[in-house]
Amino acid sequence: MKAACFSLVLFLLTIPGLHAQTGSMTDYPQISVSGEAVVYVVPDKIVITLGVETWDLSIEEAKTKNNDIIKDALKTVRRLGVPDKEIQTDHLSIEPRYKDSYRKEEFIGFFVRNTLVVTLDAPEKVEMLITRVLDAGVNHIHGIDFQSTQFKKHREEARTLALLAAKEKAQNMAAVLDQKIGRPMKISENYTGTPWGYWSGWGYGRNRGMTQNVMQNIAEGSGEIAETIALGKIAVRAKVGVTFSLQ
């Protein structure tokens, strides 16, 4: 019995082209295309990252100066009707500085840095807020991030449009060769980054990864900004790859 089984295995292995024929079952005519789409959205959430930097030979004086400016900035923001839940201090650091930082010679002073993150839902308040907090002593504007609270919905819309674009491209290309596309064999999405993220530090704010339109370093202690901050649209992008069978 064992000899018979062994002979059968040898017979199957020696049949010419058996392995090649089995592998060729998946070698159908195919066409692979990519599709891209962009959906432009008016932002309904604006995250403004502010910075206050003070220094003094005395660490206590440097901290007091910084705290006083932060308090004035908070009062200014609240006067504009921003609720406390949309105002957060995000980063605090104290750094001794020297002219020769390696040898720690010729002490300059203690530098205190504090970051304030303000979230607005009314775009028309952006310019007024920036102007007033600069007047209150804020000396760094680290960034203005325009966001959408409906990002997921718009991303799905962009993905759908990208798939339709891929299908149309495949149909047009196949038609030139007197072919028609069949069912999709493979679908993939090219990763373009996550809409959410978090970094904490001097010059960074919350949800920076969600940003589509950003204005950074508008002014640093100048007390002035441009007459108008143009509110653009958020570009929500999607890119897919699809492989269709050909008929």
User: Considering the domain boundaries, does residue 50 fall inside one?
Assistant: yes
pLDDT at position 19 over 50: no
Q: Report strand pairing: 234-246 vs 30-41.
A: antiparallel
Same domain, residue pair 123 and 206: no
How much is the pLDDT for 26? Answer: 57
> Mean per-residue pLDDT for 70-91?
95
Average pLDDT, rounded, for the chain: 81
User: Considering the domain boundaries, does residue 223 fall inside one?
Assistant: no
> Mean per-residue pLDDT for 53-67?
97
Same domain, residue pair 65 and 140: yes
Same domain, residue pair 142 and 157: no
pLDDT band at 10 (very low <50, low <70, confident <90, very high): very low
How much is the pLDDT for 174? Answer: 96
Closest residue by Cα to residue 123 from 27, 53, 34, 228? 228
How much is the pLDDT for 101? Answer: 85
How much is the pLDDT for 215? Answer: 41
Look at 101-105, 122-126, 226-230 and tell me which has the smallest mean pLDDT.
Answer: 226-230
Comparing 168 with 2, the larger pLDDT belongs to 168
> Mean per-residue pLDDT for 100-114?
93
Same domain, residue pair 35 and 97: no
What's at 210, amino acid-wise?
Answer: M
pLDDT band at 90 (very low <50, low <70, confident <90, very high): confident
pLDDT at position 76 over 90: yes
What's at 42, amino acid-wise?
Answer: V
For 187-246, how does the pLDDT look when each residue is reduced to its tens digit (9 = 90+)?
A: 999 866 544 444 456 665 554 444 444 444 434 443 333 344 455 678 899 999 999 999
User: Considering the domain boundaries, does residue 17 fall inside one?
Assistant: no
State the total domains in the chain: 2
pLDDT at position 49 over 90: yes
pLDDT at position 68 over 80: yes
Same domain, residue pair 33 and 154: yes
How much is the pLDDT for 197? Answer: 41
Chosen domain end from 124, 147, 170? 147
Domain of 195? 28-44+149-215+228-247
For 126-145, how does the pLDDT look when each residue is reduced to its tens digit (9 = 90+)?
A: 999 999 999 999 999 999 99
User: pTM value?
Assistant: 0.65
User: Considering the domain boundaries, does residue 129 fall inside one?
Assistant: yes
How much is the pLDDT for 201? Answer: 62
